[in-house]
Amino acid sequence: MIGLNVPIAWPNSAKSRLLTVRNVRWHVQDAGDGPIVLLLHGTAGSTHQWGDVIPRLTAHARIIAPDLPGHAFTHVPQGLGQDVFSLAGMAKAVADLCEALEVRPALVAGHSAGAAVALRMTLDGLVAPEAILGFNPALVPPPEAYVSLVAPFLGPIVESRLVGGSAAWLARETGLIARMLGSSGSTLTDAQRTIYRDLCANESHVAAALAMMSRWDLPALLRDAAGLTVPFTAFAGARDRWVPARQLETVVARIPGARFELVNDAGHLIPDEVPGVVVTAILHALSQAAG
């Protein structure tokens, strides 16, 4: 189960560290040496999504991979203020973490909502990477199948731990998480499914994920993305039912200089499902930046 401390069995736990920055107690995995690559997971995810990615990159780069505020082992105290769960607030919080670690990312790669955070950080001048990579970037409204599962928990009281606790209870006692993962279009191992099930049985993790979704300002992000000057590549899983590839391609076409690539054998959870695609893309982007 998910608690305050990182268990030894957690993916890449030997690279984990805990530090407090502006009252947020962060869990971050820090490994390797070289240009800084910042990895940002998606809503309701954690560092585990990069479990098979990080070890394959450490010979080429220094990898910084945090749990986003309120997720997994990163703790946000009650009363801190809910702006940390907004897109701009989360971008600022991650930037504060980078400052505390004294790192300046040469490359930022994000999965789903993590890609949106990466774009917001860059657009707000909080980081100045050579490139941004988005794997199934959450740049289109979620489909009806996804909303129908999550919508009952979204609303003005979404930040309450009571709501998070109710959703966590559903995760533990019903097949909600299995249905959610099934709707993603991804094929996961039993071990991967177990991690997601354990994460979503934790009320603070679920409350943070719901708070993120309720406070997302996608229209503002897409409007501001028209001024993006950093190369951005979006990778879409062909089987993704949460961020449909055709819709994503249309959105990406509106971002100056952005590229779109289709990953045929993947659903929404590209880092979990096909980590080799992520590794290859990051190494290519680092090579392009160095050349």
Query: DSSP 3-state helix, strand, coil percentages of the chain (rounded to 5)?
Result: 45, 15, 40
Domains identified in the chain, total number:
1
Alpha helices in the chain (DSSP H): 87-101, 113-123, 144-150, 161-173, 176-183, 190-199, 203-214, 218-224, 245-252, 270-273, 275-290
d(CA 66, CA 105): 13
> pTM for the full model?
0.91
Angle at 167 between CA 272 and CA 159, to 5 degrees: 100
Structure-block tokens of residue 150: 């999550």
Q: Is 194 contained in some domain?
A: no
pLDDT tens across 224-246, in order? 999 999 999 999 999 998 999 99
DSSP letter, residue 141? P
CATH number of the domain at 247, please: 3.40.50.1820
Residue 153: its pLDDT value, please? 45
Q: Is 90 contained in some domain?
A: yes
Tell me the residue range of the domain where 252 lies: 13-141+213-290
Q: Is 127 contained in some domain?
A: yes
Q: Is 183 contained in some domain?
A: no
CA 167 to chain centre: 20
Q: Is 185 contained in some domain?
A: no
pLDDT tens across 48-89, in order? 999 999 999 999 999 999 999 999 999 998 776 668 999 999
Q: Is 202 contained in some domain?
A: no
Q: Is 18 contained in some domain?
A: yes
Q: Is 75 contained in some domain?
A: yes
